[in-house]
Amino acid sequence: MSSNDTRALFIETKKRLIERLNGNINNWGSLVRQIVRGSKTPELLSQCTKTFANHEHAIGNTETHIDRILQVNKSMLQPIEPKSFDL
Protein backbone atom coordinates (compact mmCIF):
# COMPACT_ATOMS: atom_id res chain seq x y z
CA MET A 1 0.00 0.00 0.00
CA SER A 2 1.57 3.28 -1.03
CA SER A 3 1.54 6.43 1.01
CA ASN A 4 -1.00 7.90 -1.43
CA ASP A 5 -3.30 4.90 -0.89
CA THR A 6 -2.88 5.24 2.85
CA ARG A 7 -3.61 8.95 2.70
CA ALA A 8 -6.69 8.34 0.53
CA LEU A 9 -7.93 5.66 2.95
CA PHE A 10 -7.36 8.00 5.87
CA ILE A 11 -9.27 10.82 4.14
CA GLU A 12 -12.13 8.48 3.22
CA THR A 13 -12.32 7.15 6.77
CA LYS A 14 -12.25 10.67 8.14
CA LYS A 15 -15.11 11.71 5.83
CA ARG A 16 -17.24 8.74 6.89
CA LEU A 17 -16.53 9.46 10.53
CA ILE A 18 -17.54 13.10 10.08
CA GLU A 19 -20.77 12.02 8.36
CA ARG A 20 -21.60 9.68 11.23
CA LEU A 21 -20.80 12.37 13.79
CA ASN A 22 -23.03 14.82 11.94
CA GLY A 23 -25.83 12.27 12.10
CA ASN A 24 -25.22 11.89 15.81
CA ILE A 25 -25.32 15.66 16.31
CA ASN A 26 -28.62 15.77 14.41
CA ASN A 27 -29.96 13.02 16.68
CA TRP A 28 -29.00 15.06 19.72
CA GLY A 29 -30.78 18.05 18.22
CA SER A 30 -33.87 15.90 17.77
CA LEU A 31 -33.57 14.79 21.37
CA VAL A 32 -33.54 18.37 22.60
CA ARG A 33 -36.58 19.24 20.47
CA GLN A 34 -38.44 16.20 21.80
CA ILE A 35 -37.58 17.08 25.39
CA VAL A 36 -38.95 20.57 24.82
CA ARG A 37 -42.12 19.09 23.32
CA GLY A 38 -42.29 16.38 25.96
CA SER A 39 -43.23 13.52 23.63
CA LYS A 40 -41.43 10.23 23.02
CA THR A 41 -38.44 11.43 25.01
CA PRO A 42 -37.50 8.05 26.51
CA GLU A 43 -37.40 6.28 23.13
CA LEU A 44 -35.41 9.06 21.50
CA LEU A 45 -33.02 9.32 24.45
CA SER A 46 -32.42 5.58 24.27
CA GLN A 47 -31.77 5.73 20.53
CA CYS A 48 -29.38 8.68 20.86
CA THR A 49 -27.50 7.01 23.70
CA LYS A 50 -27.03 3.83 21.67
CA THR A 51 -25.92 5.83 18.63
CA PHE A 52 -23.46 7.82 20.72
CA ALA A 53 -22.01 4.64 22.24
CA ASN A 54 -21.63 3.12 18.75
CA HIS A 55 -19.82 6.23 17.55
CA GLU A 56 -17.45 6.07 20.50
CA HIS A 57 -16.63 2.46 19.61
CA ALA A 58 -16.26 3.32 15.91
CA ILE A 59 -13.89 6.18 16.69
CA GLY A 60 -11.71 3.86 18.78
CA ASN A 61 -11.66 1.22 16.05
CA THR A 62 -10.87 3.81 13.39
CA GLU A 63 -7.96 5.13 15.42
CA THR A 64 -6.60 1.61 15.88
CA HIS A 65 -6.93 0.81 12.18
CA ILE A 66 -5.26 4.04 11.12
CA ASP A 67 -2.36 3.36 13.49
CA ARG A 68 -1.95 -0.11 12.00
CA ILE A 69 -2.08 1.23 8.44
CA LEU A 70 0.53 3.84 9.25
CA GLN A 71 2.80 1.21 10.83
CA VAL A 72 2.50 -1.06 7.79
CA ASN A 73 3.07 1.85 5.45
CA LYS A 74 6.13 2.96 7.43
CA SER A 75 7.59 -0.53 7.39
CA MET A 76 6.99 -0.82 3.63
CA LEU A 77 8.81 2.43 2.95
CA GLN A 78 11.94 1.45 4.89
CA PRO A 79 14.76 0.19 2.68
CA ILE A 80 15.70 -3.44 3.09
CA GLU A 81 19.26 -3.75 4.30
CA PRO A 82 21.21 -6.96 3.72
CA LYS A 83 22.20 -8.76 6.88
CA SER A 84 25.78 -9.72 7.37
CA PHE A 85 26.58 -13.20 8.56
CA ASP A 86 29.48 -13.76 10.90
CA LEU A 87 31.16 -17.07 10.30
Instruction: Round to whole Å and give the CA distance between 50 and 54.
Output: 6
What is the 3-class SS of the chain, one letter each residue? CCHHHHHHHHHHHHHHHHHHHHHHHHHHHHHHHHHHHCCCHHHHHHHHHHHHHHHHHHHHHHHHHHHHHHHHHHHHHCCCCCCCCCC
Answer with the residue of higher pLDDT: 83 or 61: 61
Question: What is the percent of the chain with per-residue pLDDT over 70, rounded to a whole number?
Answer: 85
What is the pLDDT, as a whole number, of residue 44?
Answer: 76
- pLDDT > 70? residue 50: yes
Mean pLDDT across the stretch 33-45? 73
Task: Enumerate the domain spans of the chain.
Answer: 3-75
**pTM exceeds 0.75 for this model:** no
